Structure 1
């Protein structure tokens, strides 16, 4: 049961959290990166349905929120690798709970 009573600080913290992970793709990107660091094309393959333009925008946003780290390796051509930060890993329980809720939701609403 949620017992916040509409507290403005609670509403603000929930708003901040939602802005950091809003949208269809961010949590899926974080889930993919939680397994191991990946290059851009690896992420594009794993996060099925995302366009390169959207992936690029979402990675920049995740990096700005300190959830993802972008590393450029000194190779030719330069290799760019993305990894989840400890701050991003702090969402692990949220992602796990969303997984379980999604299973229950599918069962309840979609009946599959």
Structure 2
């Protein structure tokens, strides 16, 4: 049966803006932060406790990148003492579906990928 999907024959074009955004929102710490914020808004220290391996400097940089790209928003909470709370934006929530698809693909193909890595590593020895 012929392939009727018009996108099937289109070349995949990844431009510099694509690469920049993917680097900024799908890196190790961004995915961890998004996983936490998808559940509920959190303060900085709550995020640090939820992601114990992240340094303060890396978490700050990650939150700033996500905020700059409209994925996370920062809100000053007028409590005593004043606090900052981070929450995922509607744009950030819209990433959930594509990220879940990618994670599902990884889960489905991990054994095959591990076999390929083993073959490659064996050939390198």
Residue 75 of structure 1: SS of its match in structure 2?
A: coil
Matched position secondary structure for 1:69: strand
Q: Residue 92 and residue 22 in structure 1: after superposition, are their counterparts in 2 closer, same or farther (change >3 A)?
A: closer
Match of 2:10 among 4, 22, 30: 4
RMSD: 2.3
Contact 1:31 1:95 in 2 (8 A): no
Q: Distance in 1 between matches of 2:58 and 2:31?
A: 14
CA apart distance, 1:36: 0.7
TM-score by length of 2: 0.73
SS at match of 2:28: coil
**Rg larger for:** 2
Counterpart among 107, 110, 114 of residue 106 in structure 1: 110
Q: Tell me the number of residue pairs that the alignment of Structure 1 and Structure 2 aligns.
A: 108
Judged with a 3 Å threshold, the aligned counterparts in structure 2 of structure 1 residues 91 and 78 are, in CA distance, closer, same or farther, namely same
In the aligned structure 1, how far is the partner of 2:10 from the partner of 2:24?
Answer: 21
**Bigger relative contact order, structure 1 or 2, given CA contacts below 8 A and separation 6+?**
1
Deviations 1:21-59 (A, max 9, x none): 142111221121011101111111222411111001100
Gaps of at least 5 residues in structure 2 are: 1-6, 116-125
Distance 2:86 2:8 in 1: 35
Native 8 Å contact 1:63 1:70 kept in 2: yes
Unpaired segments ≥5 residues, structure 1: none
Taking structure 1 as the reference length, the TM-score comes to 0.80
